[in-house]
Amino acid sequence: MITFDAVTKRYPDGTTAVDALTLEAPTGEITVLVGPSGCGKTTSLRMINRMIDASEGQILLDGVPVSGIDPPTLRRGIGYVIQQAGLFPHRKIVDNVATVPYLLGWDKKKARARAMELLERVGLDPALAGRYPFQLSGGQQQRVGVARALAADPPVLLMDEPFSAVDPIVRTSLQDELLRLQAELNKTIVFVTHDIDEAIKLGDRVAVLRVGGRLAQLADPKTLLSEPADDFVREFLGHDRGIRRLQFVSTKGLRLRTDLTARDRVASDEPWSLVVTADDRPVGWYAGSRPEELEPYGTFVLGRDSMRSALDAALLSPSGCAVAVDEDGKVVGVATREALDEALAEAADA
């Protein structure tokens, strides 16, 4: 567990970057620090591994004040991932990943074996091990950065806007990879971002900081979206926080219709019919008014995916309906616009 106990960082010119910050980052969870520019997110993160020292208060790592730990020793026991990876350009990828094991005195064979294992774990082709950073894409470099942070199996990971420099598709992929890794490894992670959607997606707990480094609210994502502490938090979450809340609403009880599917394009009293294969996989929406082609559809996995996913699926289709599938991708029913409206109204009242 990482504990901030009334921590303040004040610079010689009088600027207060962090002001009496008190919070806990529980063991085995992802705690996200989020807020506007100038709110002290990165300063708070860097005080954990003593890249910056606190002016007042103390930070404890499993009950031990970090101020009493030699900084190099402290940092070798904490993984650190930054924006644009920060890889050594003159070292091959395998040796970049093995940096901390080398510093800890591991022999080269053992360190490189660990590096190769981690490259696969973060979803990289082991063939990339012999390349240099400039030969990798931005997303691949960020994965190497995560692998390097994990190399000595530290219990704590600090991540400072690690995915902000890549395009949205790669960013989503990296976020999913982090959640997959965390499910396996259960690290204590402190993650800094300015993106509220990223914070909501990744955080077990989200700490919203105000400009000047004061804590505005600390809560799990669902509580944060449903019960913002004040106007600042409400405005920071945005006017579409209701849509974000839907990712915490299950589709398990969603009312479905099972009479809107057909094996082929057939005339129907309904304006839309979903054409499916012989083994019940979706092909496309058929409208009698436009018989020449099938229209696109959107799917969600019933019970696993959220209402936000179901709504997205409906918006992808001109039918306005979302196709519910099982874990194998087979159609189990259709959520009509009316059923979605009904479920959304119930979610709003909850």
CATH of the domain at 292: 3.10.580.10
Together in a domain, 177 and 265: no
Last residue of a domain, one of 227, 248, 269: 248
Domain, as residue range, for 52? 2-248
Together in a domain, 153 and 278: no
Last residue of a domain, one of 214, 248, 282: 248
Half-sphere exposure of 217 (CA within 13 A, CB side): 20
Report whether 164 contacts 6 (CB < 8 A): no
Together in a domain, 239 and 328: no
**61-83 pLDDT, tens digit each:** 999 999 999 999 898 889 988 87
Report whether 6 contacts 21 (CB < 8 A): yes
**254-294 pLDDT, tens digit each:** 999 999 998 887 777 788 999 999 999 999 999 877 767 88
Q: What per-residue confidence (pLDDT) applies to 349?
A: 65
Together in a domain, 21 and 107: yes
Q: What per-residue confidence (pLDDT) applies to 271?
A: 86
Could you give the number of structural domains in the chain? 2
Measured between alpha carbons, how far is 164 from 191 in angstroms, rounded to an integer?
12
Q: What per-residue confidence (pLDDT) applies to 152?
A: 83
Together in a domain, 206 and 283: no
Q: What per-residue confidence (pLDDT) applies to 258?
A: 92
pLDDT at position 142 over 70: yes
Report whether 283 contacts 275 (CB < 8 A): yes
Average confidence (pLDDT) over 306-317: 91
Supply the Cα-derived Rg of the chain in whole angstroms. 24
Report whether 323 contacts 297 (CB < 8 A): yes
For the chain, helix, strand, coil in percent to 5 are: 35, 25, 35
Together in a domain, 44 and 184: yes
CB proximity list for 166: less than 8 A, separation 6 or greater: 138, 139, 142, 174
Report whether 61 contacts 77 (CB < 8 A): no
pLDDT top residue among 349 and 67: 67
pLDDT at position 166 over 80: no
Q: What per-residue confidence (pLDDT) applies to 190?
A: 96
Residue 63: count other Cβ atoms within 10 Å of its Cβ: 7
Phi, psi of 21 (to 5 degrees): -80, 125
Q: Please state the pTM of the whole predicted model.
A: 0.80
Together in a domain, 137 and 268: no
Does residue 253 lie in a domain region? no
| Both structure tokens of 101 | 């094991």
Together in a domain, 149 and 45: yes
Helical segments of the chain, H only? 41-48, 71-76, 93-97, 99-103, 108-121, 138-150, 168-185, 196-202, 221-226, 231-237, 241-245, 307-315, 337-349
Together in a domain, 226 and 273: no
